[in-house]
Structure 1
């Protein structure tokens, strides 16, 4: 199997190694588990593997930083189900990424949130029924709005944030200052 310089999925990379081992050993079933290439196949295809093979320390560290389970699974080369099951088993909660960053032209305050309607309601002390109205009123009141993917560790300490289950702003003071629901 000839491989070009295109980016391969884990499955495709594992198939290349499997074909190589089958040529060498006659069958993949004859390859010893201690073989480094067999171990690489198990790393690339974690389906059905024992949970102790997953590097949960790295998964927990990434979770503490604020990355999603999807991202954690991708970079640790494990399934979302495996990461999710581990977090569920040990009651490890995930942080939600923020979509909006709002800054006032009249102050140094920076605000992060997951809903523009919720942010506008807290900042302007009004209720909004749609995002377009909330955005328009924020701009009229001198706020600038940025939409992006803001992961918890990238939000600076001292910034304000809110989540849909909070009825107020909180201040970020380190990685462990995130307010979970029912906390």
Structure 2
């Protein structure tokens, strides 16, 4: 017998607000989400495989778990379950980049402190990192908008978990 993941927290939220599920308007987004969650449990294995591929594709691009859930109209629990079941990892998003002013090479990072490792200096703030890197020929700037991992080209460098990586 298969266990159904009933979103009791969402149902309770609606009951508190409307008094009863029968009083909830049909166009309520929480009610629509509950229906999608329950519908997911009844999907065929082929549809579940397709959904898993969509989850993996969005995570590979650099979307956060919540963004994936919102994009696919599923719960974050469903996304996390797929990640655990199929060993899918999230990818970094980059808020900073440095440009080597001599070569034009770009390196991306999520925290500006990582860039200090290039020049063996502990940079505890954005301004300090910017000043030190400039002395060594690097220009540190904030990425606006944030750059997703999926937007990097093969061969581009980035920092992840304090380690310099090259996208393959």
Q: TM-score, normalised by structure 2?
A: 0.67
Report the counterpart of residue 99 of structure 1 in structure 2: 95
CA contact (8 A) 1:87 1:93 kept: yes
For 2:27 and 2:70, the matched residues in 1 are separated by 20
For 1:98 and 1:165, the matched residues in 2 are separated by 13
CA contact (8 A) 2:130 2:139 kept: no
For 2:25 and 2:56, the matched residues in 1 are separated by 30
Residue-pair matches, total: 136
Match of 1:108 among 101, 104, 107: 104
Match of 2:79 among 69, 76, 83: 83
In structure 2, the CA distance between the partners of 1:15 and 1:122, relative to structure 1 (3 Å rule), is same
Pair 1:153-2:150 in alignment: yes
Structure 2: which 5+ residue stretches go unaligned?
1-13, 15-23
Pair 1:136-2:131 in alignment: yes
CA radius of gyration, larger in: 1
Per-residue CA deviation, residues 101-126 of structure 1 (Å, 9 max, x unaligned), is 1111111311011110111x222122
Runs (4+) of structure 1 exceeding 6 A deviation are none
CA contact (8 A) 1:51 1:82 kept: no
Pair 1:74-2:64 in alignment: no
- Give the 5 Å matches for 1:1-183: 15-17=25-27, 45-51=35-41, 53=43, 55-119=51-115, 121-148=116-143, 149-166=146-163, 169-173=164-168
In structure 2, the CA distance between the partners of 1:52 and 1:153, relative to structure 1 (3 Å rule), is farther
Q: TM-score, normalised by structure 1?
A: 0.63
In structure 2, the CA distance between the partners of 1:147 and 1:15, relative to structure 1 (3 Å rule), is farther
Once the 2 structures are TM-superposed, how far is the Cα of residue 159 of structure 1 from its aligned partner?
1.4
Structure with greater strand share of residues: 2
CA contact (8 A) 1:44 1:77 kept: no
Q: CA RMSD in A?
A: 2.7
Of the structure 1 ranges 135-144 and 155-164, higher mean CA displacement relative to structure 2 is found in 135-144
SS at match of 2:97: strand
Of the structure 1 ranges 126-135 and 150-159, higher mean CA displacement relative to structure 2 is found in 126-135
For 2:97 and 2:60, the matched residues in 1 are separated by 21
